[in-house]
Structure 1
Amino acid sequence: MSAKSVDIHGKNYSRGLFMLAVLVATFAGMLMGTSLGTALPTLMNDFNIDLATAQEATTWFLLANGIMVPVSAYLSTKFPTKWLYVVAFSMLLIGQYISYSAPNNNWNWFLAGRIVQAIAVGITMPLMQVVIVYIFPAKDRGAAMGLGGLVIGMAPAIGPTLSGWILDKNHTILGLTLSDSWRSIFLLPMFVIALDLVMSLFLLHDVVPNQNIKLDIRSLVQSTVGFGLFLWGLTNVANSHYDGWFDIPHVIIPGLIGIFFIATFVLHQLEMKHPFLDVRVFKIKQFSVTTILISLSMMAMMGIEMMIPTYLQELRGLSPLSSGLTLFPGAVLMGVMSLVAGAVYDRNGAKRLSRVGFMILSIATFPFLFIGLNTPKSFITIFYALRMFGIAMVMMPLTASAMSALPKEKASDGTAANNTARQVASAIVVSLLSSVTQNIANTEGPAKALKSENVLEFSRKTLDVTLTGFHASFAIALIFALLGFIISGFLHSGKIISNDPNLLDEKGDKQS
């Protein structure tokens, strides 16, 4: 990947150094999406807030990120690649500093920083995939997407482990002293992004052709309000202050209004000559099927990745660092396999890889239906790693296949649509599994009177019911994996080596 390439202005640049700058900053940004999960108790103590409020550090990041992703198609088409990255990296650095410097009596200051960070990541993550389409030929795109897998897959998985390590005790790294405070979680990414921002001024180039398109305010409002309210309603499902899926003012009403605005947004795009986000990309079967499968793989992954740390800490009494280390081998394996799977895709296509991947994912998920309070940590580590092995075989090949099914000029729209589906799928599964687990605990838990009569029996029954809730969540994750295996049978057999969808027949079976 060190070969010299030419940007849209005819200037030479290094693809390898270009990708290095992009991957490093995007990794540091996505790391922040999950890194505060293990810091919630510390945030609750320092800001004097309850758990539901502390969880806003993650839910508002998810919300702002989900709103920005559909906008990314317009931004990447309208503005030069280099300066769009420079602005996004600068916003990421500023957002992290805002949160880092938040006074202990001002939670809203902290949240404002999280929102700025999420907006930046909402630009850099989709733009990275668009850039890969433009700077790598189709024969090398799988391997390049595999590098992207290191960012998309490993960063969220490593985040909790890194935070647990920082919060465990004081550390010194790269000359920075990291104290056992939530503020230190921001220091290392800030240092990396600041360095990468300076490098990007010299290494990045304009590689995506630009068009002087006018911002359609109506589309922007419909997209922002629609996806914003829909995702906000979903994130409220898991809020302990509300009544789950049946909370009318906080879940049902914003969800329905969001769906209405999303529907009007889609209809408006179909009527436009130059759409804000071209939803017609879903008319291409290969793109639609791969997007569905990517969403299912995200739901299957999040179904376990979200619940296992909670199980390890709440039911097994492990520290945040110990629970993170239990899952760390899986994160590393996923990163390594993303590279391997990308290279294999370049030779064989996505169908065979995804079928095997979903099969491995299903087999490795099944044992989680039977874990108990005394299940060895090694058992969890092995099967979690096996699950991540399957996810890696699915995620990057499908992403590369989806992008290859589109003309290059639709790469921005395809990436935005693909990532929006991924974001919505993540929000749905987090809300679904949280509500299922909580509902089982509420409806099948022991009577409160038992606590005063026999506290040991009350504790035992509470643990049993909570474990049942986790088993139900794992079963739902297994269903998503099995659905993925079934639907992957409809994929194109072989590798698509052209971005021209006219080379595919209605069944998506013809290959260039």
Structure 2
Amino acid sequence: MSQPSTAPAVPAGPRVPEAVHRRRWAVLGVLMLSLLIVVLDNSILNVAVKTIAAPAPTGIGATQSELEWSINSYTLVFAGLLFTSGLLGDRLGRKKVLLFGITVFGIGSALAALSGSPGELIAYRAVMGLGAAFVMPATLAVLMNVFERDEQPKAIGIWAGSVGLAIAIGPITGGILLEHFWWGSIFLVNVPVVILALALMLWLVPDSRDPNPGRVDIPGVLLSVVGLVLLVYGIIRGGELASFTDVTVLAPVLGGVAVLAVFVLHERRSDHPAIDMSYFKKPAFSAAVAAIALVFFALMGVTFFSAFYLQSVRGYSALESGLLILPLAVAQMVFAPRARLVVERFGARAVCTAGMVLVALGLAAFALFDATTPVWALEVVFFLQGAGMAHIMPPVTVSIMQALPREKAGSGSAINNTFRQVGGALGVAVLGSVLSSTYRGEIEGHLGGVPAALRDTAGESIEATLAIASKLGPSGQDLVAPAYTAFLDAMHVTALASAAIGLAGAVVVAVFLPGRGADAPTAPGQAPVPGPATDQSQAPTPAG
């Protein structure tokens, strides 16, 4: 098999040192452990939102908006700093960045566990996001530098499958902890895992870096952070007010869009951009990152409201909710490592399009759910969603990572994870706002018996309505049934919006991803060489 290097001065042949190559699977295990705790933390949080929303001492009385920000403070810091962390990994060494990130994540986890108010939780979640921003891209960048190109699709499939493992472990672990300990235990559980990961990293993970790194694009990073925070804040505010025309909504939304437009212009003109915009001129590369953003936009919003559906409407405990979501994770664990085999047979375009359609159908199914939907129907839908995700993430990640030279693995991983996290953050914000505004519109007509001072709070979410109903005693019981009905109506609207986003992603990949046997985009600096997808000199259709 031909293996030309991305740099002409380097002879053809394996570029991974033999000592590193021999322990590559052990290194992958350490990377999966690091990835697992970062993803597990968010999946734990999804089943804990109801507990955190409860008044003290059970929770900390977080409102719907504060719950969204406890998720978005993490994701926005994470997404905003991925550019810098990826570049720093390429420049300073990925192992150093990985060790720094996992340490900060552990410290943030300990602080979050001791939060005394929603504001503190939001702040410490941001610290965790800072640490995660240095962990996530480093894991994928290290992977690309310990595996030869022909093994990378298989390794990336296993790497993506570890996300499914985290999704499975997270809700179940969270449920067990919430049944036996206080809510902060869902964060404190990260600390011993962080200590183990640090020890294994120091022992097994090799260091690597770009021999010719560029300067860090600090203005670009600042512009992206400011733009995203303004945009998402405006959208969340719109959900709180049930109006998207209020000046406190329009000002941050329009300001965020303007700042992000300046960010794109800056990146195009900079001689050391955080993101090399030339990569986006390749339709297959752009389609891959768009697919990641769109699928996580749709899924994160649904994951946010599914916790309330399972616990508030259906009455399941946090542990039972975690067990109910298990089929989604199992499907990812089973299918993600094998997705490359399906791609080899049918091509990335067909496989990813089918995966997106499957995810969209699963999201649309939520529009049919009510308070008595059989459990087996929920399980089937969750399994199909997981199967769809397993046939999207590995192929598009391979497309992105193999489009860049190995020396730029940190930058490639930053692009991959930035669009994933930004898509997820916007999904929670936009779909959370749709859910909140629709619920408020449905429930307001039933709040006449609620004291005027409490009506605004009672209309914010189903948890708020039920909490006030319990305080009102027998007179509040008339609110319970309308609250369930209003939430289900809001969930149905949000599910259909999510499905529409999923179908948009299916169209994007069907039009722009390469088909079976097609040549995929070549990384800048690499010469296009015709041949099979495993040719070392080009960014192939993800086939393995």
Say if 2:101 is the partner of 1:88: yes
Aligned AA for 1:150?
Answer: G
Deviation at 1:463, TM superposition (A): 2.7
Q: Is the 8 A contact 1:131 1:208 kept in 2?
A: no
Which of 100, 115, 138 is 2:126 aligned to?
115
- Name the CA shift for 1:71/1:230 in 2 (closer, same or farther; >3 Å): farther
Which of 81, 84, 92 is 1:68 aligned to?
81
Q: Which residue of the partner structure matches residue 189 of structure 1?
A: 190
Q: Is the 8 A contact 1:166 1:184 kept in 2?
A: yes
Deviation at 1:269, TM superposition (A): 1.9
Q: Is the 8 A contact 1:149 1:396 kept in 2?
A: yes
Aligned AA for 1:493?
Answer: G
Which of 3, 16, 24 is 1:15 aligned to?
24
- Name the CA shift for 1:36/1:355 in 2 (closer, same or farther; >3 Å): closer
Deviation at 1:11, TM superposition (A): 6.8
Q: Which residue of the partner structure matches residue 53 of structure 1?
A: 66
Q: Is the 8 A contact 1:302 1:429 kept in 2?
A: yes
Encode CA deviations 1:435-463: one digit per residue, 9 max, x unaligned: 22222222233623675999777544443
Q: Is the 8 A contact 1:7 1:207 kept in 2?
A: no
- Name the CA shift for 1:449/1:13 in 2 (closer, same or farther; >3 Å): closer
Encode CA deviations 1:383-430: one digit per residue, 9 max, x unaligned: 111111111111211111222233434443333233222222212222
Aligned AA for 1:464?
Answer: T
Q: Is the 8 A contact 1:351 1:489 kept in 2?
A: yes
Which of 405, 412, 415 is 1:414 aligned to?
412
Deviation at 1:295, TM superposition (A): 1.8
Q: Which residue of the partner structure matches residue 176 of structure 1?
A: none
- Aligned partners of 1:510, 1:85: CA distance in 2, in Å? 26
Deviation at 1:222, TM superposition (A): 2.1
Deviation at 1:42, TM superposition (A): 4.4
Q: Is the 8 A contact 2:304 2:432 kept in 1?
A: no
- Aligned partners of 1:395, 1:68: CA distance in 2, in Å? 22
Which of 358, 361, 376 is 1:360 aligned to?
358
Aligned AA for 1:430?
Answer: V
- Aligned partners of 1:229, 1:377: CA distance in 2, in Å? 40
- Aligned partners of 1:325, 1:156: CA distance in 2, in Å? 11
Deviation at 1:101, TM superposition (A): 4.0
Say if 2:92 is the partner of 1:79: yes
- Aligned partners of 2:132, 2:403: CA distance in 1, in Å? 25
Aligned AA for 1:474?
Answer: A
Which structure 2 segments of 5+ residues have no match? 1-13, 451-473
Q: Is the 8 A contact 1:7 1:205 kept in 2?
A: no
Deviation at 1:191, TM superposition (A): 0.8
Q: Is the 8 A contact 2:21 2:147 kept in 1?
A: no
Q: Percent of pairs identical after alignment?
A: 25
Say if 2:461 is the partner of 1:463: no
- Aligned partners of 1:441, 1:348: CA distance in 2, in Å? 43
TM-score w.r.t. structure 2 length?
0.81
Aligned AA for 1:15?
Answer: R
Q: Which residue of the partner structure matches residue 272 of structure 1?
A: 270
- Aligned partners of 1:448, 1:186: CA distance in 2, in Å? 38
Aligned residues, how many? 491
Q: Is the 8 A contact 1:59 1:235 kept in 2?
A: no
- Aligned partners of 1:182, 1:212: CA distance in 2, in Å? 43
Aligned AA for 1:91?
Answer: V
Q: Is the 8 A contact 1:450 1:458 kept in 2?
A: no
Q: Which residue of the partner structure matches residue 311 of structure 2?
A: 313
- Name the CA shift for 1:236/1:21 in 2 (closer, same or farther; >3 Å): farther
Q: Is the 8 A contact 2:215 2:272 kept in 1?
A: no
Encode CA deviations 1:20-59: one digit per residue, 9 max, x unaligned: 2121012112222232333345444147544243553323
- Aligned partners of 2:346, 2:148: CA distance in 1, in Å? 16
- Name the CA shift for 1:279/1:363 in 2 (closer, same or farther; >3 Å): same
Aligned AA for 1:94?
Answer: I
Aligned AA for 1:426?
Answer: G
Q: Which residue of the partner structure matches residue 167 of structure 1?
A: 178
Secondary structure of 1:433's partner?
helix
Secondary structure of 2:391's partner?
helix
- Aligned partners of 1:481, 1:311: CA distance in 2, in Å? 21
Q: Which residue of the partner structure matches residue 245 of structure 1?
A: 244
Q: Which residue of the partner structure matches residue 390 of structure 1?
A: 388
- Aligned partners of 2:356, 2:20: CA distance in 1, in Å? 43
Which structure 1 segments of 5+ residues have no match? 170-179
- Aligned partners of 1:425, 1:133: CA distance in 2, in Å? 24
Deviation at 1:197, TM superposition (A): 0.2
Which of 328, 347, 350 is 2:348 aligned to?
350
Deviation at 1:158, TM superposition (A): 4.1
Say if 2:110 is the partner of 1:97: yes
Aligned AA for 2:510?
Answer: G
Q: Is the 8 A contact 2:294 2:502 kept in 1?
A: yes
Q: Is the 8 A contact 2:85 2:97 kept in 1?
A: no
Deviation at 1:288, TM superposition (A): 0.4
Q: Is the 8 A contact 1:349 1:401 kept in 2?
A: no
Aligned AA for 1:351?
Answer: R
Bigger mean CA deviation after superposition, 226-235 or 253-262: 226-235
Q: Which residue of the partner structure matches residue 493 of structure 1?
A: 515
> What root-mean-square deviation, in Å, do the aligned CA atoms of Structure 1 and Structure 2 show?
3.2
Aligned AA for 2:415?
Answer: A
- Name the CA shift for 1:210/1:189 in 2 (closer, same or farther; >3 Å): farther
- Name the CA shift for 1:367/1:114 in 2 (closer, same or farther; >3 Å): closer
Aligned AA for 1:34?
Answer: S
